[in-house]
Amino acid sequence: MKKAALHNLGCKVNAYETEAMQQLLEKAGYEIVPFKEAADVYIVNTCSVTNIADRKSRQMLHRARKNNPKAVVVAVGCYVQAAAEELKKDAAVDVILGNNRKKDLLDVLEACLREKNKQLAFMGQIGEEKEYESLQVAGSISHTRAFIKVQDGCNQFCSYCIIPYTRGRVRSRTVKDTENEVRSLAKAGCQEIVLTGIHLSSYGADFGEEKKETLLSLIQRLHGIDGISRIRLGSLEPGIVSEAFAASLGKLPKICPHFHLSLQSGCNETLKRMNRHYTVEEYREKCAILRRTFGNPAITTDVIVGFPGETKEEFSRTKTFLEQIHFYEMHVFKYSARSGTRAAKMPDQVPEEVKTQRSEELLALERRMSFEYRQSFLGKRQQVLLEETMEIEGKSYLTGHTKEYVKVAVKAQGQRPNTLVDHVPEKMLTEEILF
């Protein structure tokens, strides 16, 4: 039996695609082994969101070659799409597989065996792709929560982002295909699904009028599938949030009131340079709509510090805005110039030490706001989806998440993972777990 090892870099979409490729290999008879072990085939699903991600992708490809010099090393994903010509010169790589070609993995491996000692490249013009790549997972590895990719590509062209060039234009998965996968996952025991995409809010934008669907209509269809108890949404753009959108979600009891609204900056001047299509005033109103509908929803976001031209005053405005919105969690990134983007050529690049100082300020703010949000659940009955057993202070607990994705520890009293329970958190145990 041949052995295969996979390594994933990057976003939840990449993670979904890696799991789908793993299942293709398993069905073909491959034994899946840890990446650090000797294998006949290594698959590295690469990322190219930053120059650091590029470097990590190269490192993992070379590590695979070192693990077994005779193995077939396959590079797939966004870094491949951005740097195919560079990879063609890399002796560590046997197969270069572009985005939207992952479904062909098994055929590619067969071709590689026929063409021994010859590097093969299967790329295509990602910018011209119009069809959604058909990949599917038959069951989740965790059996509790499953990520479902429903959309690929992006039409936004933010000035700092390479993704539209590596993922192509918006392409949406059909409702029927998505429903089939979700039913399969429910049958396998998954109770919670997380809808993901490169630009999830654009779901359905590429469909013709004869089969017009939106993210909302997709959610409404999936809501009716038996066995699924929760539907969680991946990253959303502020523009999709309206009174009507929020009200419709509010009528669906399976929807988790946990919304990741991409922000990037709390300063209008910075947002304009980023080519983000909203103002801070509009963003504030979107958060207000969600809070009017759901009461105390978890609102999380991404923030970039040190974007070209970000002055001390602009950063101060961003920090004040973040405090006013009071997020549950923030992912704080120091701006990293990405070759091939407009922002990389902008004047007034911010020194690294300034980025670090600003990042540390926002991370401290994030820790405080997250603590305060989690504390708001003390003494209030919550529905918890139990996920795993953990020993805390010498006692056995089951940990899981509320619908807001707050981590909770419940005393083990005969419950099993993948069970929904009601729990009243009584005290804060750690920075991450409510007791």
The answer on 292 and 208 residing in a single domain is yes
pTM over 0.85? The answer is yes
Number of domains in the chain: 3
Is the distance from CB of 144 to CB of 385 less than 8 angstroms?
yes
Give me the half-sphere count of Cα atoms (radius 13 Å) on the Cβ side of residue 364: 7
Q: Residue 433: inside a domain, yes or no?
A: no
d(CA 244, CA 161): 30
pLDDT band at 142 (very low <50, low <70, confident <90, very high): low
Q: Residue 187: inside a domain, yes or no?
A: yes
Q: Residue 321: inside a domain, yes or no?
A: yes
The answer on 157 and 103 residing in a single domain is no
What DSSP assignment string belongs to 8-32?
E-SSHHHHHHHHHHHHHHHHTTPEE
d(CA 165, CA 382): 43
d(CA 374, CA 22): 36
pLDDT band at 116 (very low <50, low <70, confident <90, very high): confident
Q: Which residues pair with 8 in a beta bridge?
A: 45
175-187 vs 215-223: helix crossing angle, rounded to 10: 30
User: How many helices (H) and strands (E) are present in the chain, helices listed first?
Assistant: 13, 18
| φ and ψ of 359, to 5 deg | -60, -45
The answer on 254 and 156 residing in a single domain is yes
Residue with tokens 């590029």: 54
Nearest CA to 6 out of 84, 75, 104 is that of: 75
At residue 221, does pLDDT exceed 80?
A: yes
The answer on 153 and 107 residing in a single domain is no
Is the distance from CB of 247 to CB of 223 less than 8 angstroms?
no
- Count other C-beta atoms under 10 Å from residue 268's C-beta: 17
Rounded-to-10 torsion of CA 152, 149, 173, 131: 40
The answer on 347 and 318 residing in a single domain is yes
Q: What CATH number does the domain containing 89 carry?
A: 3.40.50.12160
Q: Residue 205: inside a domain, yes or no?
A: yes
- Burial of 274 from C-beta contacts in 10 A (0-12 / 13-18 / 19+): buried
Q: Residue 431: inside a domain, yes or no?
A: no
The answer on 205 and 110 residing in a single domain is no
d(CA 84, CA 280): 38
The answer on 65 and 9 residing in a single domain is yes
Please list, in sequence order, all residues whose beta carbon lies within 8 angstroms of the beta carbon of residue 349, skipping any fewer than 6 positions away. Answer: 308, 337
pLDDT, tens digit, 9 for 90 and up, residues 327-348: 999 999 999 998 899 999 999 9
The answer on 106 and 21 residing in a single domain is yes
Task: Determine the pLDDT at residue 430.
Answer: 77
The answer on 289 and 191 residing in a single domain is yes
Is the distance from CB of 71 to CB of 41 less than 8 angstroms?
yes
At residue 49, does pLDDT exceed 80?
A: yes
Domain that holds residue 19: 3-124
pLDDT, tens digit, 9 for 90 and up, residues 270-319: 999 999 999 999 999 999 999 999 999 999 999 999 999 999 999 999 99
The answer on 37 and 173 residing in a single domain is no
> Among the three residues 95, 124, 153, which one is the final residue of a domain in this structure?
124
Q: Residue 139: inside a domain, yes or no?
A: no
d(CA 423, CA 402): 9
The answer on 303 and 221 residing in a single domain is yes
- Count other C-beta atoms under 10 Å from residue 38's C-beta: 12
The arithmetic mean of pLDDT across residues 52-76, rounded, is 96
Residue with tokens 């590509």: 153
Which amino acid belongs to residue 125?
A: Q
Is the distance from CB of 162 to CB of 341 less than 8 angstroms?
yes
The answer on 150 and 219 residing in a single domain is yes
Q: Residue 430: inside a domain, yes or no?
A: no
Q: Residue 46: inside a domain, yes or no?
A: yes
